Amino acid sequence: MTVASKQTQTAIDRDEHASRRRRLMEQMAPESIAIVSAAPERIRSRDTEYPYRQDSDFLYLTGFEEPHAVLVLVPGREHGETVLFCRERDPDRELWDGFMVGPDSAVANYGVDDAFPITDIDDILPGLIEGRSRVYYSIGRDSAFDSQVMEWVNSIRARVRSGAKPPGEFVALEHTLHDMRLYKSAAELRVMEQAGRISANAHRQAMRRARPGLREYQLEAELLYRFLDEGASAPAYPTIVASGSHGCVLHYTENQGMLADGDLVLIDAGCEYNGYAADITRTFPVNGRFTGEQKAVYEIVLAAQKAAIEKVRPENHWNQPHEAAVEVLSQGLLDLGILTGSLEEVVEQAHYRDFFMHRTGHWLGMDVHDVGDYRIGGAWRVLEPGMVMTIEPGLYIAPGKVGVDERWQGIAVRIEDDVAVTRSGYRNLTPDVPKEIADIEALMADE
């Protein structure tokens, strides 16, 4: 099967995008309008731009990946409720920058009701806003577009004495839209599973390639090659390849260090595939064999991850996996003699935070730290089918840590998988990377 055909089978189709727009409009107040802008292009240096990545909300509702576009939802509009403004076809510009969809193809291929050139938006959009009582819009994400929206509204306000009716209220679009994004459809889960498979293949290859004397960036190169070779568009976030004590820096991304014999290497990496992120972390020995101390710490983190994953099921709340992980990690630190006292004291007084200072996971989807509230009305959110989260406990014992035996210092372990809530429990979307010690050592021995 070719990469192109694999991508086609695991893409979100136009019918699902249309369904999302309908569901959003059903939740909007009567006589309202929603405005969603595409992500702006960003300058990397002088006249060189960063590779373009569409705004996740815009992509979620349209599947449209070009810049300079605006989606407008107008429930009840006689001539069509979904309107897209986008660039017109321009053969001269396409010669330099590539194919452009254009308004005609946007209607045919993306399922919107109407499409206009983006250059006509100042003439058309104020007329769509006029008479609508509420504007659903995400203020503060793009200051330039915020100003443009206010110019349109103010142009209507300036004509009130002539009978124009401006909107009276702005409503945060993300309140409704981000709750929709939290629940993944069957099609979204298939895409995320494919992102997980590609990322898992990359992690396995990095394990096979690792050996003393390589640089961290050489393992990063293996990951990137696998991502792109199997059809992913890019890493979903900056790749972490942290060997030795670098693993104690949670967001280490320099990836310049030398892999040393006897050290562990922590890799936190995932690809983006058809707009959805994977997020996997594995920790393994550079030389393919864990030391006794490394095994001891590793087994604690693995047990904590397993305990946390078992708490991922409907009716449990968001924090229960974290609570389970904290208890296992705390007991492990006591067993190793790194902490003293009772388990109750260590947990209640958060003494474990010297060695586990982050949460056990986060929502995952189109963004690696995906949208969605973690609390509702002050209480932890109850887990429901379709939600996807990471489970990523860790222990980080920094060099020079006061009061800690030197044999433990410099050991950092994190283990992370992507887990979907199902009707009966959970499904691990990233099971294809070994995490049992025997399996890791066997993979690394089989070069």
Cα separation, 21 vs 178, in Å, equals 13
**Dihedral angle over CA of 357, 361, 407, 300, nearest 10:** 130
For the question of residue 246 being annotated catalytic, the response is no
The two tokens of residue 161 are: 């004495």
Are 428 and 419 contacting, i.e. CB atoms less than 8 angstroms apart?
yes
Are 415 and 283 contacting, i.e. CB atoms less than 8 angstroms apart?
yes
For the question of residue 392 being annotated catalytic, the response is yes
Cα separation, 112 vs 102, in Å, equals 12
For the question of residue 358 being annotated catalytic, the response is yes
For the question of residue 251 being annotated catalytic, the response is yes
Q: Which residues contact residue 237 at a Cβ distance below 8 angstroms, ignoring those fewer than 6 apart?
A: 270, 277, 279, 368
Of 87, 204, 322, 414, catalytic = 414
Distances (CA, A) of 196 to 112, 202, 246, 282: 31, 10, 25, 13
Of 55, 367, 392, 418, catalytic = 392
For the question of residue 396 being annotated catalytic, the response is yes
DSSP per position, 63-103: ----SS-EEEE-TT-TT-SEEEEEPPP-HHHHHHH----HH
Scan for tokens 């189109």, then name that residue: 366
Helix, strand, coil % (nearest 5) of the chain?
40, 20, 40
Of 26, 44, 47, 123, catalytic = 47
For the question of residue 122 being annotated catalytic, the response is no
Of 416, 417, 418, 426, catalytic = 416
How many helical (H) and strand (E) elements, i.e. helices and strands, does the chain have? 14, 21
For the question of residue 146 being annotated catalytic, the response is no
Cα separation, 246 vs 264, in Å, equals 10
- What residues pair up with 414 in beta bridges, in sequence order? 394
For the question of residue 175 being annotated catalytic, the response is no
Of 136, 276, 396, 426, catalytic = 396
Q: Which residues contact residue 47 at a Cβ distance below 8 angstroms, ignoring those fewer than 6 apart?
A: none
Cα separation, 100 vs 26, in Å, equals 31
For the question of residue 55 being annotated catalytic, the response is no
Active site members: 47, 251, 268, 279, 358, 362, 369, 392, 396, 414, 416
